[in-house]
Amino acid sequence: MHRRVALLSAAALVVAGALVPSGTAQAGASAGLDPRPVRWTATDSWSERRNVQQYWTSQRMLAAQPLSSPTPRRGTQSSGPTQGSPWATQGASTTTTRRTPWTTRGASAATQGSPWSVRGTAAVSTQQQALVPNSPGLRWTDGGAVVRTTGRVFFTTADGQNSSCSGSAVTSANESVVITAGHCVKLNGAAHRNWVFVPAFDNGRRPFGTWVAARMLTTQQWNASEDINFDVAAVVVAPLQGRTLTDVVGGQGVAFNQPRRRQMFSFGYPAAAPFDGSRLIYCSGRAFDDTVQTRDLGLRCNMTGGSSGGPWFQGFDESTGLGWLNSVNSFKYDFAQNFMFGPFFGNEAMSVYQAAQNSDAT
């Protein structure tokens, strides 16, 4: 299942349809919103990180609960599902809807002919954009880089509950960045603790170890008011046994300010029924725009709690498990449980990534 692939040695990202080296893109303000990220220290010593590693026994990981839904805040209201919407629900109230957050994990690592070898200015080729058979939520069995770079996230909330999300290793200058959802690092105004990333988690097995968070970053909007439109975070994990994260598992590329309504693949480790968090699950289909309460992207998907933070990929190659991470699993509406929503990756998400890849991992 764990196919060997060549790993990316340098970070890359896609901005507005063009491929550029990481560190060269400038994240500017959009729609008057402050794009600067908020960051804080998760652990600051090797002894503290050792304690976090020892805390997460196999028993605690298997007993961790999927994170409960955050209260919707500052969602952009609309008049409700439009006629012809791919998920229009009769009689749904936009004023009392409740969102359920999810988590999933991304994938990457480069091979010859990697997705960075694009022609022209399009980040995703016409062939890649073509519709592929849709999946509402199935176990991923095709191997590839996504198996190594996707993982479960475990942490303890401020009220003492051991919980789980999902995340994805991405290419970065410090080779140490995990992209996940904002509510997977901070919720109800309080940061999570004992935060770890377990790539390629497989029914309790940890083939590539347990990686402890050193730094956490999220958007100003999520930090200030938990605005679901900006539910994204980056975590810088400390080296493990002298090696960095993407040196061990590889890392996906990341893309920002991309066209909407593209073919997407979503990955994660759903842990709420009917799933149990033991296997990597995926959904695929053409994304659509949320017409109820947010500016987010939607995808037909039956993944449940625990998949939050898992990656959405444009230009995903099923044969290699490579793509451009372009959103994360964020929430569901209680009246539309077969649809997942994720934030649009604009300047704010790009700023979080840029700050994370330039942060010290030690």
In the prediction, which pLDDT does 277 show?
85
Mean pLDDT per 10-residue run, the chain (362 residues)?
28 38 36 73 95 95 81 44 38 37 31 24 32 62 91 95 96 97 95 97 92 97 94 97 96 94 93 87 93 91 92 94 95 87 95 96 90
Ordered domains of the chain (ranges, CATH): 12-20+34-71+97-111+126-357 (2.40.10.10)
Q: pTM value?
A: 0.78
Distance, CA of 346 to CA of 255 (rounded, Å): 9
Q: What is the largest CA-CA distance in the chain?
A: 57
Question: What is residue 170's predicted lDDT score, i.e. its pLDDT?
Answer: 98
Q: State the pLDDT at residue 276.
A: 85
| pLDDT at residue 33, rounded to an integer | 53
Give the whole-angstrom CA distance, residue 357 versus residue 22: 9
Q: Give the pLDDT confidence score for residue 73 in this predicted structure.
A: 55
Both structure tokens of 280: 């990597």
The answer to whether 280 touches 271, Cβ cutoff 8 Å, is no
pLDDT given at position 114: 26
- Are the beta carbons of 13 and 353 closer than 8 angstroms? yes
Contact 201, 211 (CB under 8 A): no
Q: For 349, phi and psi rounded to 5 degrees?
A: -65, -40
What pLDDT is attached to residue 34? 59
Q: What is the pLDDT of residue 293?
A: 87
User: How far lies 222's CA from each of 74, 153, 232, 330, in Å?
Assistant: 10, 19, 8, 12
Decide: 331 and 349 in contact? Cβ < 8 Å: no
Q: What pLDDT shows up at residue 87? A: 42
At 168 the pLDDT is: 98
Residue of 306, 333, 341, 342 lying closest to 104 (CA atoms): 306
* Cα–Cα distances in angstroms (integers) from residue 266 to residues 90, 192, 316, 353, in the given order: 27, 24, 10, 19
Q: Is 116 exposed, middle or buried (0-12, 13-18, 19+ CB in 10 A)?
A: middle
pLDDT (0 to 100) of residue 36: 82
pLDDT tens digit string along 200-237?
A: 998 889 999 999 999 999 999 999 999 999 999 999 99
C-alpha angle 105-110-113 in degrees, rounded to nearest 5:
130
